[in-house]
Amino acid sequence: MFLAGKPVCTQCWLDYKLRYMTIFIRLDMTIPGAGSTTHIAELEEIDSSSCRMLRIIELDPHGVIHGGAASGVVAGLAAPPQDIVPHPRNYGDFPDITTTEISETDFNALWAETLAKFPELN
């Protein structure tokens, strides 16, 4: 059984979690002519090549939160995020991008800071 698109029974939740893996990832990018930036993202795996963007946090090179996005609401980002993005296992195909998996706990701590700075994302 589902309510508002989310599973509400234990077995439904387990089936949902097994089907849709959540990934927490840090992407450090160098953009020629623009400098560097870091994105911390919560992604939902769609298949082996793509993921759905759930939440994203943008940090400057000093680790200061500059913006975020969730559920179609964008605050402080240089550009709105794409809804569907490449799977992190494919980022090796892109020059000047490094990835690091992070824990859900670490992501949620950064997200709490992001919400304090941009309450419209809540």
How far apart, in whole angstroms, are the C-alpha atoms of residue 43 and residue 45?
6
pLDDT at position 1: 44
- How many distinct structural domains can be found in the chain? 1
Name the residue with higher pLDDT: 102 or 5: 102
9 has a pLDDT exceeding 90: no
Q: CA 90, 97, 41 angle in degrees (round to 5)?
A: 75
How far apart, in whole angstroms, are the C-alpha atoms of residue 85 and residue 53?
7
Instruction: For residue range 64-98, list pLDDT tens digits in order.
Output: 999 999 999 999 998 899 999 999 988 877 788 89
Q: Locate tokens 């992604």: which residue?
A: 43
Model confidence at 121, in pLDDT bands (50, 70, 90)? very high
pLDDT at position 52: 96
53 part of a folded domain: yes
pLDDT at position 107: 98
pTM, two decimal places: 0.80
- Burial annotation 31-43 (CB, 10 A radius, 16+ → b, else e): eeeeeebbbbbbb
7 part of a folded domain: no
Q: Locate tokens 């605050």: which residue?
A: 75
94 part of a folded domain: yes
85 part of a folded domain: yes
13 part of a folded domain: no
pLDDT at position 10: 56
34 part of a folded domain: yes
14 part of a folded domain: no
Name the residue with higher pLDDT: 110 or 48: 110
Instruction: For residue range 22-63, list pLDDT tens digits in order.
Output: 999 999 998 788 788 899 999 999 998 999 999 999 999 899
36 part of a folded domain: yes
Q: Which residues contact 108 (CB under 8 A, 6 or more apart)?
A: none
Residue 43 belongs to what domain range?
23-121
